[in-house]
Amino acid sequence: MSPYTRLEAAFARAAILNETLGVLHWDTETMMPKGAIAGRSDQLATLEEMSHEIIAAPRVGEMLAEAEEGAAGLTEWQAANLREMRRAHVRAVAIPADLLVAATKANAVCQHVWQEARPANDFAAVKPHLAEVIRLQRAVGAALGASLDLSPYDALLDQYDPGARQDSIDALFAPLRAALPELIRAVVEKQRAAPAPEPLPKPFPVAAQQALCRMLLDTIGFDFDHGRLDVSAHPFSGGSFGDIRVTTRYSEDVLFPALFATIHEGGHALYEQGRPAAWRHQPVGLAKGMAVHESQSMIIEWQAGKSAEFLGFLFPKIREAFGGDGPAWSDGNLMALARRVEPGLIRVDADELTYPAHILVRFGIERALIAGELAVDDLPAAFNEAVAGLLGVTVPDDRRGCLQDIHWHGGAYGYFPMYLVGAMTAAQLFAAAVEADPALRPALAEGDFRPLVAWLRTHIHSRGSAVDRETLVCDATGAPTGADRFLTHLRARYLDS
């Protein structure tokens, strides 16, 4: 066996361990009895350690050097895979195994405590666990940063979007910071000038919501032979390549959040189900970072899912599911409700225009937490102040404030900016897809996502991590990620329509 072939075998073993971790993480959030968290955290940490040991092994470093010397004989995909192997090895070597184990255990415990603390509005219960998670994430960032010559937060960002840096993200977000306040004001004024939408009569039975959500996943092309839909405290998509686990959450008081959360997570799942099967256990076969991943969820949820064409298909299904009749259930009223722009408290329920402000709040706060500029004791007040400043709303309690998201409690520092980079990328990709295939929008009016998904399979899903994010986006759209298409989309949908 050549050095490269031996490397493929080693990385395949690590990938299978990571797939097992994916299913265990899903079980932790959906099925695990609450008394099992101590044992589960040990299981997760042990598997993380085993995967880490494989990738960080000195022999892997030696094989990488040997394979790189003979790289001229590799195919284009093999060469890209070797590059991604080197990236993974460098980062694995930088993080001591005992630190990885400690962080994995702390994340699992804190996330489990958060599941009960959030509905109970009990920040005090989760605070000591959150402080430990942050302490360990600072250590992870410092270890990675020392190896990569990056600040701790930049090193954490780089884990979620290779090459991402605070300065580049700030520059990418700057046009949105400048344009969105006036755009939101103009859209809200336009809404106020029209009759207020009529609220839908409650309740919305969970069983009917579940049936609709399953229908929606089937409509966008989710493969139920290799995946499933369940319930969790925070919607997510996980599992493994051939076993994608989508979750959502339901409330009988509201209708649209569960539906759009489901197709959001379904977009993630489509990406995972469309990755190159021949490379499923190799680094080059992985998704190209979380900014691209979020673009795939948001192109399904926002660009296609909230298009006039698809909503026209969806509304009769909603009326049928809930026996809706009368003015409140009309297409016009449902459209006004589905596209209502209103600054609110909950990020995952936010409309397209105010959603960026939620991300800007979290981006600023998590940087301060990792830099040690914000103490955990001061997190609720800092969060509430930032929300009031950027969204103009008062946070009444921690449940709807700093406790609402799972990310910080699960150790995902550096993730939040990827949502907004993903939203910007999604607008750019959708515009390119529509330009390439004029039949795409009419197909959505029939509930047919096949033209869109086929375009994404070709330009995004099937390419795995063969190229960097900007090359991927440029190849698909003709330009690097920017704010122009996103702002054009928002103006066209909410002001010009």
Cα angle 150-158-486, degrees, rounded to a multiple of 5:
125
440 close to 433: Cβ distance less than 8 angstroms: yes
CA atoms 28, 376, 116, 404: torsion sign: negative
Longest dimension (CA), the chain: 72
Residue 214, helix vs strand vs coil: helix
Report the alpha-carbon distance of residue 360 to residue 393 in Å, rounded. Answer: 15
- 400, two tokens: 């709807």
| Cα–Cα distance list, 343 to 181, 186, 195, 340, 353 (Å) | 11, 13, 19, 10, 9
CA–CA gap between residue 205 and residue 128 (Å, rounded): 37
Torsion sign (Cα): 478, 482, 486, 491: negative
Amino acid at 96: P
Pairing mode of beta strands 237-240, 243-248 = antiparallel
How many other β-carbons are positioned within 10 Å of the β-carbon of residue 35?
A: 7
Q: How far apart are the first and last CA of the chain?
A: 61
| Alpha-carbon distance values, 265 to 209, 220, 238, 348, 448 (Å) | 16, 11, 9, 11, 18
> What are 106's two structure tokens?
């702390």
Residue 265 designated active-site: yes
Cα 290 to the chain's mean position, in Å?
Answer: 6
Strand order of the sheet with strand 237-240? 227-231, 243-248, 237-240
Angle at 88 between CA 86 and CA 93, to 5 degrees: 95
Contact present, 154 and 144 (Cβ < 8 Å): no
From 8, 48, 265, 301, the catalytic residue: 265
Residue in this structure with the two tokens 């400048």, named with its chain if needed: 178
**Secondary structure class of 454 (helix, strand, coil):** helix
Catalytic site residues? 265
